[in-house]
Amino acid sequence: MEPVFEGAIRRCLGSVPSGRVATCGTIARALGDVTAARAVATWVLAHPEVPGAHRVVRADGRPVLRSAHGPLRTDGVPPPGDRADASRFEEALPDIGLLRRFRGDQERLSRDIVEEGDPGALETVGGVDAAYVGEHAHVAAVVCDAESLEPRETAVADVAVEFPYIPTYLAYRELPPIEEAFSRLRTRPDVLLIDGHGRLHPALFGIACLAGLRLGLPTIGVAKHPLRGRPAPGRRRRDGAIPLEIDGVVRGYAWRPPRSSRTLYVSVGHGLSLDAALRIVRETTRDRHPEPLRIADLLAKKRKDVKNGKGGS
């Protein structure tokens, strides 16, 4: 079966007439979200043999593929210098709407997220993270003792991913690798930390939310960069965490761990309250990052290096 993103972009390329070109942004809009423009360029560079790939240009008319000039001249598009003339641009392509449908799915599923409850005294805390080489994910899952934060069990997996990185659609890229690594654990953690957003997301449904629903356990999103959320006016916790609001509702916290220059963005994935999520993140952080995620990150990077001949054992 053809991967869903590949099928959608092939349809877009097939709709660009001979003698015309389309920008990455135009193709991204046909897919349903202009933020996918960079992913379109990356995909075309990785698949130069696909019919119509030579007709994809950047906003200034430069072909994405260096090899495109000859085929473009054959099409009757003699570029002035190294750029296609703007008169050759297709202003719009038939609507594919893939990403718009995905956004609708996120908004629908966001209504199933539970943001209340406290797991109480934990026995184990899990973490999962992935490292990428091209379209291959090397993912690691770890289960740590909640008191000592030492790992009790780890698992790694190597998964070919079929969906590119597009901001706010990370779940469609990362959930399959996460599920594969998680399935290799014998121990089911009391709560799972995800390197990514939960409710601090434009659709209130980041990767930590989808993972919580699919895996059926409490999850917490811990991200390194903000997607959405503004500091709540006049509201700051005594522990230094800054509440972040979306549409007037506190959906997460910005918290800088001791001895760290990097802020973490903490939000509920599923199955617990925001205050419980922040408490667990604080309790599992020794230095700069929660320990389960730090260990998972190291394991994923080591797996990537081993699999790609860069050392390790």
Range of the domain at 256: 110-307
176-190 pLDDT per residue, tens:
999 999 999 999 999
| Mean pLDDT along residues 231-255 | 84
Distance CA(266)–CA(258), nearest Å, equals: 15
- Residue 58 contacts residue 23 (beta carbons within 8 Å): yes
Last residue of a domain, one of 66, 96, 126: 96
Buried residues in 136-154 as b, exposed as e (16+ CB within 10 A):
bbbbbbbbbebeebebbeb
Percent of residues, the chain, with pLDDT higher than 90: 80
pLDDT-derived band at 231, boundaries 50, 70, 90: confident
Reply yes or no on whether the pLDDT at 90 is more than 80. Answer: yes
In a domain, 102, yes or no: no
Residue 48 tokens read as: 């130069």
- Residue 171 contacts residue 179 (beta carbons within 8 Å): no
Last residue of a domain, one of 96, 123, 144: 96
Distance CA(255)–CA(39), nearest Å, equals: 30
Percent of residues, the chain, with pLDDT higher than 70: 96
Tell me which of 17-26, 80-89, 155-164 is least confident: 80-89
Distance CA(162)–CA(112), nearest Å, equals: 26
pLDDT-derived band at 237, boundaries 50, 70, 90: low
34-59 pLDDT per residue, tens:
999 999 999 999 999 999 999 999 99
Residue 62 tokens read as: 């430069």
Q: In what order do the strands lie in the sheet with 249-255?
A: 151-160, 136-145, 124-133, 191-194, 219-223, 264-270, 249-255, 242-246, 230-231
Residues 61 and 127 in one domain: no
